[in-house]
Amino acid sequence: MTASILPLSAARGLRSAPFTARFGMAVIALYVAVALCAPLIAPYGETEIVDAEFMPWSAEYLLGTDNLGRDMLSRIIYGARNTVGIAVATTVLAFLAGAALGILAALRGGWVDQLLSRLVDVLMAIPSLIFKLLLLTIFGTSVLSVVLIIALVDSTRVFRLARAVSMNIVVMDYIEAARLRGDGTWRLITREILPNAAAPLAAEFGLRFCFVFLAISALSFLGLGIQPPTADWGSMVRDNASLISFGDITPLIPATAIALLTIGVNFVVDWMLHRASGLKD
């Protein structure tokens, strides 16, 4: 009975979603499909040099070639896998660390809360972009370094929200009843706090993904993000920016791909927040 009700309620929720939310979900689904099927739909390899540099759009090269003679369409398709995949991994890592520590700080209180909160305050006092650039300069620009550094910086934002939401939950009577019942920290978090904090945390995950996605693209544009020859939309804008001077809009295509995904995710997050608020209009 439960298995049949859940898909029905989900389908009913999708039918009641506004056009903007449906558009956002369609965009996300398209990007996921392209990322998963990149080797199947890309006409050429990710790093394959197919012709001379900056070849114009044609039937053979639908979006021309880049500054090294690689097919732009293939690079954009593979860029969906690399840029979006790394952004998702970074967001998940930042969210797991920030949310877990934020809930723990609210639940335990005392010196644990003070220690974690003051450490987060120190990290947040440094402008995030400058902090990321500094750490990348020190530890290098490998994919692992990019993921860990961005996750570290963005986990502080997740910590603040998770702690604020949890502070309003841990003072409730059912938390006190669970403590008197003998529930441990893990059970309190998973059974009592997380279900009641799911809506704001889910919305924060969507917004945090947008910030991480834009941060990775910005760092790649500056040359400190995902490194060549890996296809990445931020570095593709930088490598082909000179075409703008000749009236060629090719560099705007990866920039549009970045903007479109960001807008789509924001549409879905707005709809989720609206549903969680209980408002009808």
Looking up tokens 């003072």 gives 171
3-state secondary structure of 71: strand
In this prediction, residue 8 carries a pLDDT of 52
Please say whether the structural domain 80-225+254-277 has been given the CATH code 1.10.3720.10. Answer: yes
Tell me, what's the pLDDT at 112?
87
pLDDT of residue 227: 82
In degrees and rounded to multiples of 5, residue 154 shows phi and psi of: -80, -20
Q: Where are the domains of the chain?
A: 80-225+254-277
**From the centroid of its chain, how far is CA 135?**
20
- Contact between residue 232 and residue 225 where contact means Cβ atoms under 8 Å apart: yes
Q: Which residues contact 269 (CB under 8 A, 6 or more apart)?
A: 203, 206, 207
Q: Is the dihedral of CA 245, 248, 218, 269 positive or negative?
A: positive
Classify burial at 137, counting beta carbons within 10 Å of its beta carbon; exposed 0-12, middle 13-18, buried 19 or more.
exposed
Tens digit of pLDDT at every position of the chain (281 positions): 334 444 555 556 566 778 888 999 999 999 999 988 988 998 988 888 888 888 888 888 888 888 888 889 999 999 888 888 889 999 999 999 999 999 999 888 888 889 999 999 998 988 888 898 889 888 888 888 989 999 999 999 999 999 999 888 888 888 888 888 887 878 888 888 888 888 888 888 888 898 898 888 888 888 888 888 888 888 888 888 888 887 788 888 888 998 999 999 999 888 887 776 655 55
State the sign of the Cα–Cα–Cα–Cα dihedral 37, 42, 44, 45.
negative
In the chain, the amino acid numbered 169 is: I
CB 251 within 8 A of CB 241: yes
d(CA 101, CA 155): 9
pLDDT score at 13: 57
pLDDT of residue 4: 42
Alpha carbons 230 and 44: distance in angstroms, whole number: 14
pTM of the model: 0.83
State the virtual CA torsion across 139, 141, 147, 149 in degrees, nearest 10: 40
Which structure tokens are listed for 191? Answer: 């059974």
Q: Identify the CA nearest to 90 among candidates 150, 140, 157, 130.
A: 150
